[in-house]
Amino acid sequence: KVAPPLAAIMALTELIEKSTAGTMFELSGVLDKGTQQLTDRVPNSIGLNAGCELFNLFVTVATHDLGVLSDFKDKLVRQGNQYIAEAALYSEKIAGFTNGFVKDGSVILTHSHSRVVMKALLHAHKRKRISVYVTEAKPRGLGLKTHEMLTAAGIPCTVVLDSAVAYVMDKVDFVLVGSEAVVESGGLINATGSNQIAIIAKYANKPFYALAESFKFRRLFPLSQYDLPTHGPGILPFPRQVPPPTSVTNGQSPSDDLKDAGPPVSPSAGSLARKSMSAEQIALNPEVDYTKPDLISLVISDVGILTPEGVSHYLVGMFAG
């Protein structure tokens, strides 16, 4: 399986290959529609959009050199495939860079599951002894996948409750997370919980490293969590109609029911409050969050080890240079 931005580039490349557009105008129309469809189909399209942006930028720049349309289309397809082949090696490069930061005997905290982080950890494991804490990352629970893979590779690994990150932070040497996207401010967009971990790491004076391939750099500049494209009125609203309080039984106070966005708990015989969130409740929660650049120590990417400011220089150079 492939990172979302690369998947987007693959899709767009295929689209061009199969398109029967006769003029450049039609071709860009095809690309636009493709991009739009990708964005609409997938709820969390931040990664996909990064890939689309990069590919569209490339097409725009390449258009300066427009010859015969069929040759041009071939060129685009070729370049697209070439880039995908190259980009598969980026995570190797990043693993190499990260290796320098891992000391023998390091205790590393990571969040959820990330391909790049896995590669980096396995690479470091070859020469050094490391132990890893991984957060459960509810509701998708991808942290358990990370735990499985690391244990299979022989790395001592323990799953940490999302709420126990502050508890464990003093034991940790540094935090390593992957990314969905790195934005123009130098901040990070990653699975929900990354921001929390970053804040705790900052308070405990631990380095926070984000691993991101260069195709994840995006020209977004969110000023807060609520500026993210994934945020909307459907995320974490209060219920519009407060259900009437049920009779007080089982020691439950009426206020508990009011906070529930789902149906009120019926005090049937022997039932206590639900042990885990319902699907509707989960759907009200965000999938990704934004970590501000001042919480991030370094962004390790295939273009080099960057400070968060360095990332914004890069993006401006790429898109405006």
CB 262 within 8 A of CB 212: no
C-beta of 222 vs 319, nearer to another protein: 319
Helix, strand, coil distribution of the chain in percent, nearest 5: 50, 15, 35
Q: Which of 58, 73, 115, 139 binds another protein (CB under 8 A)?
A: 58
26 binds another protein (CB under 8 A): no
C-beta of 56 vs 246, nearer to another protein: 56
Instruction: Give the torsion through C-alpha atoms of 296, 300, 301, 305, to 10 deg.
Output: 100
Helix residue ranges per DSSP H, 63-205 = 69-87, 90-99, 115-127, 142-152, 165-168, 194-203
222 binds another protein (CB under 8 A): no
**Minimal distance, residue 86 CB to another protein, in Å:** 6
Place of tokens 């990354």: 194
- What are the C-alpha distances in Å from 173 to residues 10, 130, 170, 250? 38, 10, 8, 45
227 binds another protein (CB under 8 A): no
DSSP bridge partners of 183: 218
3 binds another protein (CB under 8 A): no
The residues, any chain, with a CB within 8 Å of residue 68's CB and separated by 6 or more, are none
**Minimal distance, residue 259 CB to another protein, in Å:** 40
**Minimal distance, residue 217 CB to another protein, in Å:** 8
Helix residue ranges per DSSP H, 113-237 = 115-127, 142-152, 165-168, 194-203
122 binds another protein (CB under 8 A): no
How big is the site for another protein, counted in residues (CB under 8 A)?
Answer: 40
C-beta of 207 vs 229, nearer to another protein: 207
**Minimal distance, residue 114 CB to another protein, in Å:** 20
Residue 89 is encoded by which pair of tokens? Answer: 């090696």
Stretch that binds another protein, among 148-156, 187-195, 220-228, 302-310 (CB under 8 A): 302-310
Q: Which of 257, 269, 259, 222 is nearest to 237 (CA)?
A: 259
306 binds another protein (CB under 8 A): yes
107 binds another protein (CB under 8 A): no
CB 305 within 8 A of CB 97: yes
Binding mask 170-209 for another protein (x = CB under 8 A): ----x--------------------------------x--
Chain positions contacting another protein, by CB under 8 A? 9, 54-55, 57-58, 61-62, 65, 79-80, 82-83, 86-87, 96-97, 99-101, 103, 174, 207, 214-215, 217, 298, 303-307, 309-310, 313-318, 321
